[in-house]
Protein backbone atom coordinates (compact mmCIF):
# COMPACT_ATOMS: atom_id res chain seq x y z
CA UNK A 1 0.00 0.00 0.00
CA UNK A 2 1.40 3.37 -1.03
CA UNK A 3 1.89 6.11 1.56
CA UNK A 4 -1.01 8.12 0.07
CA UNK A 5 -4.14 6.00 -0.36
CA UNK A 6 -6.21 6.85 -3.42
CA UNK A 7 -9.83 6.84 -2.28
CA UNK A 8 -13.22 6.96 -3.97
CA UNK A 9 -16.68 7.69 -2.58
CA UNK A 10 -19.79 5.94 -3.90
CA UNK A 11 -22.19 8.81 -3.21
CA UNK A 12 -22.07 12.56 -2.62
CA UNK A 13 -25.28 12.81 -0.65
CA UNK A 14 -25.34 14.01 2.94
CA UNK A 15 -23.08 11.18 4.10
CA UNK A 16 -20.41 11.78 1.46
CA UNK A 17 -20.57 15.56 1.67
CA UNK A 18 -20.52 15.79 5.48
CA UNK A 19 -18.92 12.68 6.96
CA UNK A 20 -16.45 11.40 4.38
CA UNK A 21 -15.14 13.84 1.77
CA UNK A 22 -13.98 16.53 4.26
CA UNK A 23 -11.98 14.03 6.30
CA UNK A 24 -10.43 12.22 3.35
CA UNK A 25 -9.42 15.62 1.97
CA UNK A 26 -8.01 16.77 5.33
CA UNK A 27 -5.95 13.66 6.13
CA UNK A 28 -2.49 13.70 4.51
CA UNK A 29 -2.54 9.92 4.15
CA UNK A 30 -5.49 9.92 1.75
CA UNK A 31 -6.20 11.37 -1.68
CA UNK A 32 -9.82 12.03 -2.62
CA UNK A 33 -9.38 10.60 -6.08
CA UNK A 34 -12.96 10.11 -7.29
CA UNK A 35 -16.57 10.79 -6.36
CA UNK A 36 -19.74 9.24 -7.77
CA UNK A 37 -22.67 11.55 -8.56
CA UNK A 38 -25.24 9.95 -10.79
CA UNK A 39 -26.84 13.14 -12.08
CA UNK A 40 -25.50 16.24 -10.31
CA UNK A 41 -22.14 18.01 -10.24
CA UNK A 42 -22.23 19.36 -6.68
CA UNK A 43 -18.87 17.88 -5.70
CA UNK A 44 -17.13 20.05 -8.32
CA UNK A 45 -17.53 23.12 -6.10
CA UNK A 46 -15.21 21.80 -3.38
CA UNK A 47 -13.42 18.86 -4.98
CA UNK A 48 -12.82 19.86 -8.59
CA UNK A 49 -9.49 18.04 -8.53
CA UNK A 50 -11.17 14.68 -8.07
CA UNK A 51 -12.59 12.57 -10.89
CA UNK A 52 -16.35 12.60 -11.35
CA UNK A 53 -17.97 9.26 -12.12
CA UNK A 54 -21.63 8.58 -12.88
CA UNK A 55 -21.77 5.04 -11.49
CA UNK A 56 -20.22 2.79 -8.87
CA UNK A 57 -19.25 0.48 -11.73
CA UNK A 58 -17.03 3.22 -13.22
CA UNK A 59 -15.48 3.89 -9.81
CA UNK A 60 -14.65 0.23 -9.26
CA UNK A 61 -13.12 0.02 -12.74
CA UNK A 62 -10.60 2.76 -11.90
CA UNK A 63 -7.39 0.80 -11.41
CA UNK A 64 -5.74 3.60 -9.43
CA UNK A 65 -8.34 3.47 -6.62
CA UNK A 66 -7.18 1.55 -3.53
CA UNK A 67 -10.02 2.29 -1.09
CA UNK A 68 -13.74 2.72 -1.74
CA UNK A 69 -16.27 4.18 0.69
CA UNK A 70 -19.64 2.45 0.26
CA UNK A 71 -22.08 5.08 1.53
CA UNK A 72 -25.07 4.38 -0.69
CA UNK A 73 -28.47 3.43 0.83
CA UNK A 74 -28.41 0.27 2.95
CA UNK A 75 -30.25 -1.90 0.42
CA UNK A 76 -27.37 -1.30 -2.03
CA UNK A 77 -24.54 -2.07 0.41
CA UNK A 78 -24.24 -5.76 -0.47
CA UNK A 79 -24.16 -5.06 -4.23
CA UNK A 80 -21.70 -2.17 -4.08
CA UNK A 81 -19.36 -3.63 -1.47
CA UNK A 82 -19.26 -6.94 -3.38
CA UNK A 83 -18.44 -5.04 -6.55
CA UNK A 84 -15.64 -3.13 -4.84
CA UNK A 85 -14.10 -6.18 -3.18
CA UNK A 86 -14.23 -8.18 -6.40
CA UNK A 87 -12.40 -5.28 -8.05
CA UNK A 88 -9.62 -5.64 -5.48
CA UNK A 89 -10.47 -2.55 -3.44
CA UNK A 90 -10.31 -2.14 0.31
CA UNK A 91 -13.67 -0.98 1.62
CA UNK A 92 -15.15 1.30 4.26
CA UNK A 93 -18.87 0.61 4.53
CA UNK A 94 -21.44 2.86 6.19
CA UNK A 95 -23.82 1.69 8.88
CA UNK A 96 -25.96 -0.29 8.77
CA UNK A 97 -23.41 -2.78 7.49
CA UNK A 98 -26.15 -4.50 5.45
CA UNK A 99 -29.90 -5.08 5.59
CA UNK A 100 -29.68 -8.70 6.73
CA UNK A 101 -27.19 -10.70 8.77
CA UNK A 102 -26.44 -13.24 6.02
CA UNK A 103 -25.36 -10.36 3.74
CA UNK A 104 -22.91 -9.10 6.37
CA UNK A 105 -21.47 -12.59 6.80
CA UNK A 106 -21.18 -12.92 3.03
CA UNK A 107 -19.19 -9.68 2.76
CA UNK A 108 -16.95 -10.63 5.67
CA UNK A 109 -16.13 -13.95 4.01
CA UNK A 110 -15.48 -12.29 0.63
CA UNK A 111 -13.08 -9.75 2.17
CA UNK A 112 -11.19 -12.54 3.94
CA UNK A 113 -10.97 -14.58 0.72
CA UNK A 114 -9.64 -11.55 -1.17
CA UNK A 115 -7.30 -10.57 1.71
CA UNK A 116 -8.76 -7.08 1.68
CA UNK A 117 -9.65 -4.69 4.48
CA UNK A 118 -13.35 -4.21 5.26
CA UNK A 119 -14.08 -1.53 7.86
CA UNK A 120 -17.43 -0.42 9.30
CA UNK A 121 -17.86 3.34 9.54
CA UNK A 122 -18.72 3.70 13.22
CA UNK A 123 -17.88 7.38 13.57
CA UNK A 124 -19.91 7.74 16.79
CA UNK A 125 -17.14 5.94 18.65
CA UNK A 126 -15.27 9.21 18.09
CA UNK A 127 -17.93 11.54 19.54
CA UNK A 128 -16.74 13.57 22.51
CA UNK A 129 -19.77 12.58 24.58
CA UNK A 130 -19.23 8.85 24.04
CA UNK A 131 -15.52 9.21 24.79
CA UNK A 132 -16.52 10.73 28.15
CA UNK A 133 -18.68 7.66 28.85
CA UNK A 134 -15.88 5.34 27.76
CA UNK A 135 -13.44 7.07 30.12
CA UNK A 136 -15.81 6.70 33.08
CA UNK A 137 -16.21 2.97 32.38
CA UNK A 138 -12.51 2.34 31.80
CA UNK A 139 -11.51 4.26 34.94
CA UNK A 140 -14.06 2.25 36.96
CA UNK A 141 -15.46 5.43 38.53
CA UNK A 142 -18.87 3.86 39.22
CA UNK A 143 -17.81 0.52 40.63
CA UNK A 144 -19.48 -2.54 39.11
CA UNK A 145 -22.01 -1.22 36.59
CA UNK A 146 -25.43 -2.80 36.96
CA UNK A 147 -27.55 -0.72 34.57
CA UNK A 148 -26.92 1.44 31.51
CA UNK A 149 -29.18 3.24 29.06
CA UNK A 150 -28.05 4.64 25.71
CA UNK A 151 -30.58 6.54 23.62
CA UNK A 152 -31.03 8.63 20.50
CA UNK A 153 -33.85 11.16 20.89
CA UNK A 154 -35.03 13.19 17.91
CA UNK A 155 -38.04 15.35 17.22
CA UNK A 156 -39.22 14.71 13.68
CA UNK A 157 -43.02 14.47 13.85
CA UNK A 158 -43.44 14.24 10.06
CA UNK A 159 -42.14 11.97 7.31
CA UNK A 160 -38.88 13.37 5.94
CA UNK A 161 -39.54 12.23 2.37
CA UNK A 162 -36.63 9.77 2.27
CA UNK A 163 -37.82 6.31 1.16
CA UNK A 164 -34.55 4.57 2.04
CA UNK A 165 -34.67 5.95 5.60
CA UNK A 166 -38.37 6.22 6.45
CA UNK A 167 -40.13 4.49 3.56
CA UNK A 168 -40.69 0.85 2.68
CA UNK A 169 -37.33 0.08 1.09
CA UNK A 170 -35.23 -2.70 2.68
CA UNK A 171 -33.11 -1.30 5.49
CA UNK A 172 -35.39 1.67 6.14
CA UNK A 173 -36.42 2.53 9.69
CA UNK A 174 -34.91 3.81 12.89
CA UNK A 175 -33.49 0.44 13.95
CA UNK A 176 -31.29 0.31 10.86
CA UNK A 177 -30.56 4.05 10.89
CA UNK A 178 -29.62 4.72 14.52
CA UNK A 179 -29.63 1.27 16.10
CA UNK A 180 -26.17 0.33 14.77
CA UNK A 181 -24.57 3.27 16.60
CA UNK A 182 -26.08 2.38 19.97
CA UNK A 183 -25.57 -1.36 19.60
CA UNK A 184 -21.94 -0.89 18.53
CA UNK A 185 -21.24 1.38 21.51
CA UNK A 186 -22.82 -1.10 23.94
CA UNK A 187 -20.82 -4.02 22.54
CA UNK A 188 -17.66 -1.91 22.49
CA UNK A 189 -17.98 -1.12 26.22
CA UNK A 190 -19.63 -4.23 27.64
CA UNK A 191 -18.96 -7.10 25.23
CA UNK A 192 -21.32 -9.78 23.98
CA UNK A 193 -24.66 -10.16 25.84
CA UNK A 194 -26.44 -13.37 26.75
CA UNK A 195 -29.89 -12.47 25.40
CA UNK A 196 -32.00 -9.77 23.74
CA UNK A 197 -35.54 -8.49 24.20
CA UNK A 198 -36.96 -5.75 21.98
CA UNK A 199 -39.93 -3.58 21.08
CA UNK A 200 -40.44 -1.70 17.81
CA UNK A 201 -43.35 0.19 16.29
CA UNK A 202 -44.42 3.05 14.02
CA UNK A 203 -45.42 6.14 16.01
CA UNK A 204 -46.10 8.46 13.06
CA UNK A 205 -49.03 7.64 10.78
CA UNK A 206 -47.31 8.76 7.54
CA UNK A 207 -44.15 6.67 8.01
CA UNK A 208 -43.91 3.17 6.56
CA UNK A 209 -41.01 1.87 8.67
CA UNK A 210 -40.24 1.62 12.39
CA UNK A 211 -39.59 4.99 14.03
CA UNK A 212 -39.23 3.74 17.61
CA UNK A 213 -37.20 0.91 19.08
CA UNK A 214 -36.15 -0.30 22.49
CA UNK A 215 -33.65 -3.11 22.93
CA UNK A 216 -32.73 -4.72 26.24
CA UNK A 217 -29.40 -6.53 26.37
CA UNK A 218 -29.05 -9.12 29.13
CA UNK A 219 -25.67 -9.69 30.77
CA UNK A 220 -24.89 -11.77 33.84
CA UNK A 221 -24.72 -8.81 36.23
CA UNK A 222 -25.81 -5.99 33.92
CA UNK A 223 -28.77 -4.75 31.88
CA UNK A 224 -28.26 -2.36 28.96
CA UNK A 225 -31.23 -0.56 27.42
CA UNK A 226 -30.92 0.97 23.93
CA UNK A 227 -33.66 3.29 22.74
CA UNK A 228 -34.39 5.42 19.69
CA UNK A 229 -37.37 7.67 19.01
CA UNK A 230 -38.46 10.40 16.61
CA UNK A 231 -40.97 11.98 19.02
CA UNK A 232 -38.90 13.63 21.74
CA UNK A 233 -39.11 17.40 21.77
CA UNK A 234 -37.45 17.43 25.18
CA UNK A 235 -34.52 15.08 25.61
CA UNK A 236 -33.09 13.30 28.63
CA UNK A 237 -29.42 12.30 29.06
CA UNK A 238 -28.29 10.24 26.09
CA UNK A 239 -26.21 8.04 28.38
CA UNK A 240 -27.11 6.99 31.92
CA UNK A 241 -24.89 4.53 33.78
CA UNK A 242 -25.50 3.27 37.31
CA UNK A 243 -22.94 1.27 39.28
CA UNK A 244 -22.49 0.04 42.83
CA UNK A 245 -20.60 3.21 43.75
CA UNK A 246 -22.34 5.85 41.70
CA UNK A 247 -24.01 7.21 38.58
CA UNK A 248 -22.95 9.09 35.47
CA UNK A 249 -25.29 11.05 33.19
CA UNK A 250 -24.02 12.35 29.86
CA UNK A 251 -25.83 14.55 27.33
CA UNK A 252 -25.49 14.04 23.59
CA UNK A 253 -23.40 17.14 23.05
CA UNK A 254 -20.84 16.49 20.32
CA UNK A 255 -20.88 19.42 17.87
CA UNK A 256 -19.08 17.87 14.92
CA UNK A 257 -22.11 17.16 12.74
CA UNK A 258 -23.44 20.68 13.33
CA UNK A 259 -20.11 22.26 12.40
CA UNK A 260 -19.69 20.03 9.34
CA UNK A 261 -23.15 21.05 8.13
CA UNK A 262 -21.90 24.63 8.42
CA UNK A 263 -18.97 23.70 6.12
CA UNK A 264 -16.34 24.01 8.86
CA UNK A 265 -13.25 22.16 7.66
CA UNK A 266 -11.91 19.40 9.94
CA UNK A 267 -8.28 18.64 10.67
CA UNK A 268 -6.09 16.28 12.68
CA UNK A 269 -6.08 18.90 15.42
CA UNK A 270 -9.07 19.57 17.70
CA UNK A 271 -10.98 21.55 15.07
CA UNK A 272 -14.38 21.32 16.78
CA UNK A 273 -14.74 23.01 20.19
CA UNK A 274 -16.22 21.09 23.11
CA UNK A 275 -19.58 22.23 24.51
CA UNK A 276 -19.36 25.54 26.34
CA UNK A 277 -21.52 24.39 29.25
CA UNK A 278 -21.19 21.29 31.45
CA UNK A 279 -22.72 18.29 29.67
CA UNK A 280 -22.35 15.54 32.26
CA UNK A 281 -23.00 14.73 35.90
CA UNK A 282 -20.85 12.39 37.98
CA UNK A 283 -22.12 11.29 41.41
CA UNK A 284 -19.95 8.60 42.94
CA UNK A 285 -17.41 7.65 45.61
CA UNK A 286 -13.71 8.26 45.09
CA UNK A 287 -11.23 7.15 47.77
CA UNK A 288 -14.08 6.75 50.24
CA UNK A 289 -15.47 10.26 49.71
CA UNK A 290 -18.73 11.16 47.98
CA UNK A 291 -18.20 13.25 44.85
CA UNK A 292 -20.99 15.02 42.96
CA UNK A 293 -19.91 17.31 40.17
CA UNK A 294 -20.79 18.56 36.71
CA UNK A 295 -18.41 17.41 34.01
CA UNK A 296 -17.23 18.62 30.61
CA UNK A 297 -16.57 16.27 27.69
CA UNK A 298 -13.57 16.91 25.46
CA UNK A 299 -13.68 17.45 21.72
CA UNK A 300 -14.41 14.47 19.52
CA UNK A 301 -12.85 14.12 16.09
CA UNK A 302 -14.05 11.81 13.31
CA UNK A 303 -10.74 12.19 11.51
CA UNK A 304 -9.33 9.82 14.13
CA UNK A 305 -11.42 7.10 12.50
CA UNK A 306 -9.71 7.79 9.18
CA UNK A 307 -6.36 8.02 10.92
CA UNK A 308 -6.96 4.60 12.48
CA UNK A 309 -7.97 3.22 9.05
CA UNK A 310 -4.80 4.66 7.55
CA UNK A 311 -2.66 3.01 10.21
CA UNK A 312 -4.41 -0.30 9.57
CA UNK A 313 -4.00 -0.11 5.78
CA UNK A 314 -0.31 0.73 6.13
CA UNK A 315 0.32 -2.13 8.55
CA UNK A 316 0.83 -0.01 11.68
CA UNK A 317 -2.30 -1.05 13.60
CA UNK A 318 -5.31 -3.35 13.52
CA UNK A 319 -8.54 -2.54 11.71
CA UNK A 320 -10.38 -0.14 14.08
CA UNK A 321 -13.87 -1.49 13.29
CA UNK A 322 -13.47 -4.82 11.48
CA UNK A 323 -16.24 -6.69 9.70
CA UNK A 324 -16.52 -9.00 12.72
CA UNK A 325 -17.77 -6.01 14.73
CA UNK A 326 -20.33 -5.24 12.04
CA UNK A 327 -21.54 -8.84 11.96
CA UNK A 328 -22.07 -8.76 15.73
CA UNK A 329 -24.21 -5.62 15.41
CA UNK A 330 -26.27 -7.27 12.68
CA UNK A 331 -26.77 -10.34 14.89
CA UNK A 332 -28.18 -8.15 17.66
CA UNK A 333 -30.44 -6.34 15.18
CA UNK A 334 -31.74 -9.60 13.77
CA UNK A 335 -32.32 -11.00 17.27
CA UNK A 336 -34.21 -7.79 18.15
CA UNK A 337 -36.46 -8.20 15.11
CA UNK A 338 -37.06 -11.85 16.03
CA UNK A 339 -37.91 -10.80 19.60
CA UNK A 340 -40.50 -8.30 18.35
CA UNK A 341 -42.03 -10.86 16.02
CA UNK A 342 -42.21 -13.65 18.61
CA UNK A 343 -42.73 -11.44 21.71
CA UNK A 344 -40.07 -13.23 23.72
CA UNK A 345 -36.49 -13.04 24.94
CA UNK A 346 -34.03 -14.33 22.34
CA UNK A 347 -31.00 -16.16 23.67
CA UNK A 348 -27.69 -15.55 21.93
Dihedral sign for Cα atoms in the order 105, 110, 113, 119: negative
pLDDT, tens digit (0-9, with 9 covering 90-100), for 117-165? 999 999 999 999 999 999 999 999 999 999 999 999 999 888 877 888 8
pTM of the model: 0.96
Domain ranges of the chain: 5-121, 124-299+331-347
Confidence of residue 249 (pLDDT cuts 50, 70, 90): very high
Looking at the DSSP bridge assignments, the partners of residue 224 are 148, 217
- From CA 276, how far away is CA 130, in angstroms rounded? 17
Mean pLDDT (whole number) for 256-263? 95
Q: Are 163 and 172 in contact (CB under 8 A)?
A: yes
pLDDT, tens digit (0-9, with 9 covering 90-100), for 323-345? 999 999 999 999 999 999 999 99
CATH: 3.40.50.920, 3.30.360.10, 3.40.50.1860, 2.60.120.260. Which one for 124-299+331-347?
3.30.360.10
What is the CATH number that goes with domain 5-121? 3.40.50.720
Q: Could you please report the per-residue DSSP string of 172-226?
A: -SHHHHTHHHHHHHHHHHH---SEEEEEEE--STT-SS--EEEEEEE-SS-EEEE
Amino acid sequence: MSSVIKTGICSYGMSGRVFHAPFIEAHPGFELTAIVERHKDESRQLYAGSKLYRSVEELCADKTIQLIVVNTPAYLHLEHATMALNAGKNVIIEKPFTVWLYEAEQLQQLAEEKDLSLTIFQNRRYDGDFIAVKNVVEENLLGEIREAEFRYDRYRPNYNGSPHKEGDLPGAGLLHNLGPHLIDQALYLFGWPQAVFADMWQMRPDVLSDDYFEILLYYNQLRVRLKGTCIARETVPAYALHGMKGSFLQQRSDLQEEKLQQAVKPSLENWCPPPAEPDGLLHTEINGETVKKQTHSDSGNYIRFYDDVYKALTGKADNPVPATDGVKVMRIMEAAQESVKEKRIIGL
